[in-house]
Amino acid sequence: MKPFSYALVIGLATAQIATSALALDITGAGATFPFPVYSKWAEAYRKETGNGLNYQSIGSGGGIKQIQAKTVDFGATDAPLKGETLTKDGLVQFPTVMGGVVPVVNIAGIKPGEVKLTGEVLAEIYQGKIKKWSDPKIAKLNDGVKLPDAPITPVYRSDASGTTNIFTTYLSDVSAAWKSELGASTTVSWPAGQGGKGNEGVTAVVKQVPNAIGYVEYAYAKQNNLPVALIQNKDGQYPMPGDEAFQAAAANADWKAAPGFGISLTNQPGAKAWPITAATFILVHKNPADAARTAEVLKFFRWAYKSGDKMASDLDYVPLPDKVVGLVEDEWKSVAKDGKPVLGQ
For the segment 12-32, what is each residue's pLDDT rounded down to a tens digit? 333 343 344 457 899 999 998
First-residue to last-residue Cα distance in the chain: 48
Query: What pLDDT does residue 252 have?
Result: 76
Q: Is the pLDDT higher at 250 or at 70?
A: 70
Residue range 126-146: average pLDDT?
A: 97
**Options 1.10.8.100, 3.10.129.10, 3.40.50.150, 3.40.190.10; which CATH number does 101-252+264-276 get?**
3.40.190.10
Rounded Cα gap, residues 142 and 121, in angstroms = 12
Over residues 278-289, the pLDDT tens digits come to 999 999 999 999
Task: Quickly name the fold that domain 24-99+278-341 has.
Answer: D-Maltodextrin-Binding Protein; domain 2 (3.40.190)
Rounded Cα gap, residues 266 and 306, in angstroms = 27
* pTM, to two decimals: 0.80
At position 174, the amino acid (one-letter code) is: V
On the question of pLDDT at 7 being above 70, the answer is no
Which residue ranges make up each domain of the chain? 24-99+278-341, 101-252+264-276
Query: What pLDDT does residue 316 have?
Result: 84
At position 281, the amino acid (one-letter code) is: F
Which of 8-17, 29-38, 63-72, 125-134 is predicted with the least confidence, judged by mean pLDDT?
A: 8-17
Residue range 100-120: average pLDDT?
A: 97
At position 241, the amino acid (one-letter code) is: P
Asked if residue 147 lies in contact with residue 134, where contact means CB atoms within 8 angstroms, the answer is yes
Residue range 233-240: average pLDDT?
A: 97
Q: Percentage of residues in the chain with pLDDT exceeding 90? A: 82
| C-alpha count within 13 angstroms, C-beta hemisphere, residue 133 | 24
Query: What pLDDT does residue 11 have?
Result: 39
Rounded Cα gap, residues 207 and 216, in angstroms = 12
Say if 24-99+278-341 and 101-252+264-276 have the same CATH topology.
yes
> Of 96, 89, 81, which Cα lies nearest the Cα of 33?
96
